[in-house]
Amino acid sequence: MRKYYKITNNGRSNAVSNPPIEQTYSLAKQRYAELGVDTDAILQLLEKIPISIQCWQGDDVAGFESVGGLTDGGIMATGNYPGRARTPEELRADAARAMDLIPGKHRFSLHAIYLEHGGRKIERNEIGPEHFRGWMDWAADQGIALDFNPTFFSHPKAAGGFTLAARDEGLRRFWVEHGIACRKIGEAFGRRQKTPCVTNVWIPDGMKDLTIDRKGPREILRKSLDELFAAPIDPACNLDAVECKLFGIGSETYVVGSHEFYLGYAVENKKLLCLDAGHFHPTETIADKISSVLLFLDEILLHVSRGVRWDSDHVVILNDDLRAIAEEIVRGGFIRRVHIGLDFFDASINRVAAWVTGVRAMLKALLSALLEPTSRLREFETQGDYTSRLVMLEELKTLPFGAVWNYYCEKQGVPVGKAWLDEVKRYEKDVLEKREKQL
């Protein structure tokens, strides 16, 4: 048991036979079995947990509506790493490349601005499933399902900082119609893919500075949401989610759609609440919110992100916050009630690598949580033996988790360890670098 496996020069993962990944795994399996944990059963479980991968990491939230990139709306992608996807074809190719390096089958989350308009100007309140046929065909081809998001930003009608909470009736109505159009698109996705599309409403509405009327815009938002969600849609096709936020760029003082606002709205109207890891006070984490909100809601959506000092949407990594989220989902028995979506967009590194890193980190966190002997820990806790609880949690950290993860990757036919990066580098050289040169 001295050596694991090596990475060859060409970078492909190369499980050498001394000892092979299987052998290392079987030793790990014994270690976990001693704690009553069945690693084989857990890998079967993990395989069934889809992560909704955000399309917007691939092109810095630019979309294909026009040539301009992300404009106003309280979010910002920073960095200028070459190779951003500029067309639906490029984005699909990049996403497929990323998914080839990620174990398991996942989902893909689109924003309304990723429509294919065939060169015609289509207003946001006029979009329909026909503008997403290319995406639906691609998803069917990949054997994956789609999720959806109306886009209430990067638009002249959002430039004033208000959309669904706008006092101007014309603006407000336009954005309500956009939301209605998007739910129909979600419904079409769901009908075709035979699993519901989660359509998530996030709006940037808020105020930069001292706000006198905090109530008025919230009343307007409530009315707009009621209109937007008025038409009943079969939950087998589409599930509506609403995303809360504490502050944004240009809305530092007041955000209309706050946590309390949307929690109330979701409970009252049976919507999914979307909890984004970057949308609370910087030291506040979403893990502890899950068990509370799921007492009052059937299902929730997560936007797993990594804020550094603010809602910066850094690439998700296997840190304590991520582990805590996964542990809560698993310990609470919430796997079926929590839709796990990712929300980060880093333009300063290779975007395919960003996707792969984030999704693999989320899966590692879930695997690590699933491998926990939770019932034993729970027993310690109920018996008041907090000493054993703490000691065991600490000991679990050095169990051969990596051996189980590597075996899972191998079994799923994706590169083991950092070998996937060599694949991405090759793709960068063959595909991404050429894009810049064509410009």
Task: Kindly list the residues in this chain that would bind ligand RNT in the complex (CB under 6 A).
Answer: 56, 61, 75, 149, 202, 243, 245, 248, 276, 303, 311, 343
d(CA 146, CA 186) in angstroms, rounded, equals 8
> Which one of the listed residues 94, 147, 240, 243 is annotated catalytic?
243
The partner in contact with residue 75, picked from Zn ion, ligand RNT, none with C-beta cut-offs of 5 to 8 angstroms by kind, is: ligand RNT
Active site (annotated) includes residue 202: yes
**Three-state SS string across the chain, please?**
CCCCCEECCCCCEECCCCCCHHHHHHHHHHHHHHCCCCHHHHHHHHHCCCEEEEHHHHCCCCCCCCCCCCCCCCCCCCCCCCCCCCCHHHHHHHHHHHHCCCCCCCEEEEEHHHCCCCCCCCCHHHCCHHHHHHHHHHHHHHCCEEEEECCCCCCHHHCCCCCCCCCCHHHHHHHHHHHHHHHHHHHHHHHHHCCCEEEEECCCCEECCCCCCCHHHHHHHHHHHHHHCCCCCCCCCEEEEEECCCCECCECCEECCCHHHHHHHHHHHCCEEEEECCCCCCCCCCHHHHHHHCCCCCCEEEEECEEECEEEEECCCCCHHHHHHHHHHHHCCCCCCEEEEECCCCCCCCHHHHHHHHHHHHHHHHHHHHCCCHHHHHHHHHCCCHHHHHHHHHHHCCCCHHHHHHHHHHHCCCCCCCHHHHHHHHHHHHHHHHHHHHC
CB of 158 to Zn ion, least distance (A): 16
| Rounded CA Rg of the chain | 22
d(CA 413, CA 103) in angstroms, rounded, equals 7
Can residue 276 be called a binding residue for Zn ion (CB under 5 A)?
yes
> Which one of the listed residues 60, 299, 343, 346 is annotated catalytic?
343
d(CA 328, CA 335) in angstroms, rounded, equals 10
CB of 61 to ligand RNT, least distance (A): 5
Can residue 172 be called a binding residue for Zn ion (CB under 5 A)?
no
d(CA 296, CA 299) in angstroms, rounded, equals 9
Q: In the complex with ligand RNT, which residue's Cβ is closer, 75 or 404?
A: 75
Q: In the complex with ligand RNT, which residue's Cβ is closer, 259 or 303?
A: 303
The partner in contact with residue 61, picked from Zn ion, ligand RNT, none with C-beta cut-offs of 5 to 8 angstroms by kind, is: ligand RNT
CB of 180 to ligand RNT, least distance (A): 18
Which value, to the nearest 10 degrees, does the dihedral of the CA atoms of residues 103, 104, 110, 114 take? Answer: 60
Position of minimal CB gap to ligand RNT = 202
> Which one of the listed residues 94, 205, 311, 327 is annotated catalytic?
311
Active site (annotated) includes residue 418: no
Q: In the complex with Zn ion, which residue's Cβ is closer, 187 or 343?
A: 343
* Contact window for Zn ion (CB under 5 A) among 75-83, 147-155, 337-345, 427-435: 337-345
CB of 243 to ligand RNT, least distance (A): 5
CB of 250 to ligand RNT, least distance (A): 12
> Which one of the listed residues 271, 279, 339, 364 is annotated catalytic?
279
Active site (annotated) includes residue 303: yes
Q: In the complex with ligand RNT, which residue's Cβ is closer, 14 or 285?
A: 285
Active site (annotated) includes residue 313: yes
* Contact window for Zn ion (CB under 5 A) among 134-142, 155-163, 300-308, 365-373: 300-308
The partner in contact with residue 155, picked from ligand RNT, Zn ion, none with C-beta cut-offs of 5 to 8 angstroms by kind, is: none
Q: In the complex with ligand RNT, which residue's Cβ is closer, 188 or 244?
A: 244
The partner in contact with residue 94, picked from Zn ion, ligand RNT, none with C-beta cut-offs of 5 to 8 angstroms by kind, is: none
**Cβ 297 vs Cβ 266: under 8 Å:** yes
d(CA 303, CA 326) in angstroms, rounded, equals 13
CB of 404 to ligand RNT, least distance (A): 32
> Which one of the listed residues 131, 155, 245, 314 is annotated catalytic?
245
Can residue 303 be called a binding residue for Zn ion (CB under 5 A)?
yes
**Residue 2, number of CB atoms within 10 A of its CB:** 5
Position of minimal CB gap to Zn ion = 303
CB of 271 to Zn ion, least distance (A): 15
Q: In the complex with ligand RNT, which residue's Cβ is closer, 29 or 107?
A: 107
The residue count for binding Zn ion (CB under 5 A) is 3
CB of 241 to ligand RNT, least distance (A): 10
Can residue 343 be called a binding residue for Zn ion (CB under 5 A)?
yes
The partner in contact with residue 92, picked from Zn ion, ligand RNT, none with C-beta cut-offs of 5 to 8 angstroms by kind, is: none
> Which one of the listed residues 202, 355, 405, 420 is annotated catalytic?
202
Active site (annotated) includes residue 288: no
Which residues are catalytic, by number? 202, 243, 245, 276, 279, 303, 311, 313, 343
Binding site for Zn ion (CB under 5 A): 276, 303, 343
